[in-house]
Structure 1
Amino acid sequence: MKTSALVLPAVVILGAFFVVPLIWVVILSFLGAGPTGEVQHAFTLGNYVRFLTDSYYVNDLLLRTIRLAAIATVFSVVIGYLGAFVIARAAPTTQTWMILLVMLPLWVNLVVRTLSLMVVLGRNGPVNQILVGLGITARPLPLLYNETAVVIGMVQVAVPFVVLSVFGVLQAIPRQLEQAAMTVGATPLAAFRRVTLPLSVPGILAGSVLAFGINVESFVVPILLGGGRVRFMSVAAYETATVSNNLPFAATIGVILLIVTMVMLGVYQWAVRSAGRPATAIQAA
């Protein structure tokens, strides 16, 4: 009884500020909109039919959002894993400072971080100055207002989350396992590939799904680094609701984006169950 009383406020807050609005968005996506944007309280599948039968919404919005989010996730996982591995192998006192450096960007407003990245990637920014100064390129590269800029922006947002996800798993892997593999003839690289890497798969999967979820729902990065040229689902939902004043169709875009995220979570759960046999991986090595 006491436990229920303690949990009740959290349940009420969660229901009032998350579950109820989410249910309303789903209901709203099945309603129509009048010529001036007023919501018509009549059930319809027209919003979903409009979205799924229009190549602009499917190809230029949905598939582009998934593609760029997936590319950014791959880079985030590779960079994040390398960072987490270096931190896990560092001395305990050094680990503390390195973790603080990883978390430091999370304490800075995302808009400020993205604006700073715009300066770095700009035509006269340090990246282009270095490339031109070293003779790698004859003129500044167009690193802003394109898909490349958006991917770079999403990577810098997601990498800290991947590092923290993988670091916890790497810390839990006994170093003696690698040492045991090397005592029977394995090289350090072979020991990593056959012991450490398989055992760190749960952290990689957790970091991947976290990075993908952050990237696919990115809003600030596509607006600032994409410059309106790189269309994203989240931006389209915002503009549909505010500029076009079509709340039902904006809700439809949001629900479809939510479905994509839930599918990714389902794939993650399946992958975790499939990779949840570390002993098998060690035996196979």
Structure 2
Amino acid sequence: MKKPANTILMLPAITILGAFFVVPLIWVVILSFLTSGPTGEVQNQLTVSNYARFLTDSYYLQDLLLRTIRLAAIATVFSVAIGYLGAFVIARAEAAAQTWLVMLVMLPLWVNLVVRTLSLMVVLGRNGPVNQLLVGLGFADRPLQLLYNETAVIIGMVQVAVPFVVMSIFGVLQSIPRQLEHAAMTVGATPLSAFRRVTFPLSLPGVLAGSVLAFGINVESFVVPILLGGGRVRFMSVAAYETATISNNLPFAATIGVILLIVTMGMLGIYQWAVRSAGRSTAVLQAS
């Protein structure tokens, strides 16, 4: 009797997911195999020319796809490193302080992404505080060009992803009993060794969840490349938008989106497998 009841309770969620995600996704896949007429109208003629155009053009493969993946991966590494440090500090803080620290981490998410990115443009600008500090300390003779390049885009993606990584790892770290570290240190392990052999392996599920979430956010970033890249740093999401709106070529824009989705899901699957394999290997070594 429980199964029919559970199915009925899941129907609203399944209906919404199907109507607003599955059906549009299927339509986008179908659209990617159609052609676009001279004036931009979609023609009901099946073809693989859109995929052939993307896969045979070095601009789309190198300047768009590979750059998007590369920058997203770099931003993910920095996001996980910073997020792990923040999550560790929060997990080791007193219970009263944890609430305020969590609120401080979540505070950026309460501000619109466009506003946050525009604020970052002010911070990284030629007359911004970062350049003023670098010039004032003598690290630079004149203001540096910190905007409209890959570095600015990476910084922007990191500030977007870090809160999600912190919360993913914090939940796992908080569930790890502190007694395990104390037990390791009582048998001669240093605090660093106890962290490396006990705490960090047990926190790998949080690291995996946070890194997958960060990569998914970064690889599909749209606002950050437009504002901080200034049109010079091309991203797949931006190219799909411009192809659909400026070039008025919906089938090829759908093709860009489908390829980005396939590559992203494939890389996330490989990454999950690699991290889980590393976690199992670590567990075996510790047991031995």
- Counterpart of 2:261, as a letter, is L
Q: What is the aligned partner in structure 2 of residue 128 from structure 1?
A: 131
Q: What is the aligned partner in structure 2 of residue 91 from structure 1?
A: 94
Cα deviation code 1:29-80 (max 9, x no counterpart): 0111111111111111100000010000000000000000000000000000
Taking structure 1 as the reference length, the TM-score comes to 0.96
Partners of 2:175 and 2:6 in 1: how far apart? 32
* Correspondent of 1:228 among 224, 231, 246: 231
Q: What is the aligned partner in structure 2 of residue 191 from structure 1?
A: 194
Q: What is the aligned partner in structure 2 of residue 283 from structure 1?
A: 287
Taking the TM superposition and a 5 Å limit, the aligned residue runs for 1:26-65 are: 26-65=29-68
Residue 239 of structure 1, CA deviation: 0.1
SS in 2 for 1:255: helix
How many percent of aligned residue pairs carry the same amino acid?
83
- Counterpart of 1:187, as a letter, is T
SS in 2 for 1:37: coil
1:16 counterpart = 2:13? no
Q: Which moved more, 1:199-208 or 1:258-267?
A: 258-267
Partners of 2:6 and 2:183 in 1: how far apart? 47
Structure 2, gaps ≥5 residues long = none
The answer (yes or no) to whether the contact 1:25–1:255 under 8 Å persists in 2 is: yes
Cα deviation code 1:86-143 (max 9, x no counterpart): 0010001101100000001011100000000000000000000011011111111110
Q: What is the aligned partner in structure 1 of residue 172 from structure 2?
A: 169
Cα deviation code 1:199-250 (max 9, x no counterpart): 1111111111110000000000000000000000000000000000000000
- Counterpart of 2:163, as a letter, is P
Partners of 1:107 and 1:281 in 2: how far apart? 43
Q: What is the aligned partner in structure 1 of residue 184 from structure 2?
A: 181
Q: Which moved more, 1:256-265 or 1:50-59?
A: 256-265
Partners of 1:149 and 1:271 in 2: how far apart? 29
Residue 181 of structure 1, CA deviation: 1.0
Q: What is the aligned partner in structure 2 of residue 5 from structure 1?
A: 8
Partners of 1:257 and 1:61 in 2: how far apart? 10
- Counterpart of 2:237, as a letter, is S
Structure 1, gaps ≥5 residues long = none
The answer (yes or no) to whether the contact 1:222–1:228 under 8 Å persists in 2 is: yes
Partners of 1:62 and 1:150 in 2: how far apart? 15
Residue 265 of structure 1, CA deviation: 2.8
SS in 2 for 1:209: helix
The answer (yes or no) to whether the contact 1:69–1:216 under 8 Å persists in 2 is: yes
Taking structure 2 as the reference length, the TM-score comes to 0.95
Q: What is the aligned partner in structure 2 of residue 73 from structure 1?
A: 76
Partners of 2:277 and 2:95 in 1: how far apart? 33
The answer (yes or no) to whether the contact 1:201–1:275 under 8 Å persists in 2 is: no
Paired positions, count = 284
The answer (yes or no) to whether the contact 1:71–1:151 under 8 Å persists in 2 is: yes
Residue 274 of structure 1, CA deviation: 2.1
- Counterpart of 1:5, as a letter, is I
Partners of 1:210 and 1:216 in 2: how far apart? 10
Taking the TM superposition and a 5 Å limit, the aligned residue runs for 1:189-268 are: 189-268=192-271
The answer (yes or no) to whether the contact 2:201–2:283 under 8 Å persists in 1 is: no
Partners of 1:63 and 1:8 in 2: how far apart? 40
Residue 272 of structure 1, CA deviation: 5.2
Q: Which moved more, 1:111-120 or 1:255-264?
A: 255-264
